[in-house]
Amino acid sequence: MRLAWLHLHSFRSYPALEWRPDPGVNILVGRNGAGKTNVLEAIGFLANLRSFRGAPEETLIAHNAETAVLRGEESDAQALVEVEITRKGGRRTRIGQKSIGRTSDLRSALRTVAFLPDDLDLVKGSPAGRRELLDDVATQIWPGAALDQAEFDRTLRQRNAFLKQGDRDPATLEVWDTRLAQAAAKVMGRRARAAAALEETLVESYGRIAGEETSVRFAYQSDWGGTLDPTTPASEWAKSLTGALRERRRLDFELRTTGSGPHRDDPAISLGGQGSRHQASQGEQRTLALALRLATHRAVSLQTDRLPLLLLDDVYSELDPDRSKALTDALPEAQTFVSTTRLDEVPVPGRAWQVSEGDIR
């Protein structure tokens, strides 16, 4: 996968940008606030239709404009991707001449794996970040995963709305439970398989950054069902979640929210048999965060047979020289975009670009 060119109109700090990146490594150099991350964010948006910074869509539009337009061409499949974002919340997405309504149709045209400054949270932070990582891996590998996630979210919101009504009609709750369990089982199944795919590549990725062999396990766990085996059929999970929902029914009515399900699950990573969130050292956690992104890239390339683009947002400034070198050696042969304030901080050979005043030169 290669991004042949990128056009931005009224996207954040870019009134009009036309840029042809190098097919190899691109290093975007500029002072803070020059707009380096905005470029990486734009590339990520073309691939995932959302900001990797979690920014709401309307904030991506330049202050003086009503709409932002992002365009890019992936050169292997010669796919032209075009996204238009409007302030009213309408978004138009097209691949070639075909307009598409679903994010999942877009993923196959362009894929990205982003290393972000806050990645340590994947290891140290709450389970939400790890759930999101697994969902992201799942959507990159399986086109149907995004729809499953949307369906689960919608069902969960409906069930919670029902609990908030205070109407305790058991027949209605029963059907919501059944439907929620069906949707949940699909999400859990994909997450468990994504965790298994990641675990396979994680040992090697971790070893390459750490410089030593360590056993790494990525287990998808829930507080009601224990560790979930990826080979368990979805109907089994639906059944056990239905049971868990029934047991908690009284509590759910009281708290007016759904207490068990994939939205509460805790995917856990262990290093050498110990939990990484609380028991690993700061250094191990940092290594693991890098390894998770590398492993994601490897897993997605293995499963899809295409190399996703790499986005490295100001990652090197946080790393000591050893990890910095180890990461550089471990980076795959994909088209890469690195942002930095200081060129000498980046040990990767590549084409350097100056970013300032809404332009890249």
Partner 1 sequence: MFEGPLQRLIDELARLPGVGRKSAQRMAFHLLGVEREDALRLSSAIVDMRDQLRICSRCYNVTASEECTICRDSKRDQTVVCVVERAQDIAVIERTQEFRGRYHVLGGAISPIGGIGPSQLRIAELGKRIEDEGIMELILATNPTVEGDVTAMYIAREMKPRGVRVTRLAMGLPVGGDLDYADELTLGRALAGRSEL
Closest to partner 1 by CB, 20 or 157: 157
Helix (H, G, I), strand (E, B) or coil at 11: strand
By CB under 8 A, residue 105 contacts partner 1: yes
Helix (H, G, I), strand (E, B) or coil at 68: strand
Helices 321-330 and 282-304 pack at an angle, to 10 degrees, of 10
CA 18 to chain centre: 26
By CB under 8 A, residue 179 contacts partner 1: yes
By CB under 8 A, residue 143 contacts partner 1: yes
DSSP category for residue 229:
P
Closest to partner 1 by CB, 239 or 351: 239
CA 341 to chain centre: 25
DSSP category for residue 61:
B
Find the shortest distance in angstroms from Cβ 296 to partner 1: 21
By CB under 8 A, residue 102 contacts partner 1: yes
Find the shortest distance in angstroms from Cβ 137 to partner 1: 17
Find the shortest distance in angstroms from Cβ 106 to partner 1: 12
Strands (E) in 154-262, as ranges, are: 216-222, 226-227
Helix (H, G, I), strand (E, B) or coil at 275: strand
Closest to partner 1 by CB, 102 or 351: 102
Closest to partner 1 by CB, 181 or 319: 181
Find the shortest distance in angstroms from Cβ 160 to partner 1: 8
Residues 149-178 vs partner 1: string with x where CB under 8 A?
--x--xx-xxx-xx-xx-x-x-xx-xxx-x
Cβ atoms of 223 and 264 within 8 Å: the answer is yes
Find the shortest distance in angstroms from Cβ 145 to partner 1: 10
Closest to partner 1 by CB, 139 or 335: 139
Count of residues in contact with partner 1, rule CB under 8 A: 26
- Residue 360 to residues 5, 7, 47, 133, 201, Cα–Cα distance (Å): 12, 11, 21, 31, 35
- Residue 40 to residues 200, 296, 309, Cα–Cα distance (Å): 28, 18, 10
Residues that bind partner 1 (CB under 8 A): 102, 104-105, 143-144, 147, 151, 154-155, 157-159, 161-162, 164-165, 167, 169, 171-172, 174-176, 178-179, 183
